[in-house]
Amino acid sequence: MNSDPSEPVNPTDQDGILRLRARFRPHEHVRARQIFQQVFAQRRAVSDSTLVVHALSNGLSCARLGISVPRRVTRHAVVRNRLKRLVREAFRIHKGEIPIGFDLIVVPRRSDLSAVAVVSSLRSLAPDAVRRASKETLRTPPAAKDPTP
């Protein structure tokens, strides 16, 4: 630990803004097939020429990320894994700007994406996807009970 009491505990930059560690934790990763199916079944997505972002409320205190790169984008596993790394990095760096309490499933549209394109696309689409998913959550009535005994 830091033994010098005059040095701050949390790192700050020259402007005095607190910088927290940005890590992609295991609890922020959507891996369950059932969750992917629920998100895709809801069919609430926003897109641009770079990404398609699906969102679904998860009721947790964090945003979670799932990535699906279909083979139709590229047949090469190396390229699909690179796209996954780009999306994960964009999420990790900007997860403070992404609304909490939602699962985001991101699907890249092309194989020739740059990191800058993925970051800008995710930053603009994630809030829109969350807004659209929360509207649908409020609009969906609860399931009716079966009146037969």
State the pLDDT at residue 43: 83
Other beta carbons less than 10 A from residue 82's beta carbon? 16
Q: SS3 helix, strand, coil % of the chain, rounded to 5?
A: 40, 15, 45
Q: Is 20 a member of any domain?
A: no
Domain annotation covers residue 86: yes
Asked if residue 148 belongs to a domain, the reply is no
Domain hosting 42: range is 26-139
Q: Does residue 144 form part of some domain?
A: no
For 104, how many CA atoms within 13 A lie in the half-sphere containing its CB? 33
- Residue 85 resides in a domain: yes
State how far the Cα of 92 lies from the Cα of 19, in Å rounded to an integer. Answer: 13
Query: Would you tell me how many other CB atoms lie within 10 Å of the CB of residue 85?
Result: 13
- pLDDT tens track of the chain, all 149 residues? 445 444 444 444 555 554 556 788 888 889 999 999 999 998 889 999 999 999 999 888 889 999 999 999 999 999 999 999 999 999 998 888 888 899 999 999 999 999 999 999 999 999 999 999 888 655 554 454 555 55
User: How far apart are alpha carbons 66 and 54 in whole angstroms?
Assistant: 9
Number of domains within the chain: 1
The domain spanning residue 53 has which CATH number?
3.30.230.10
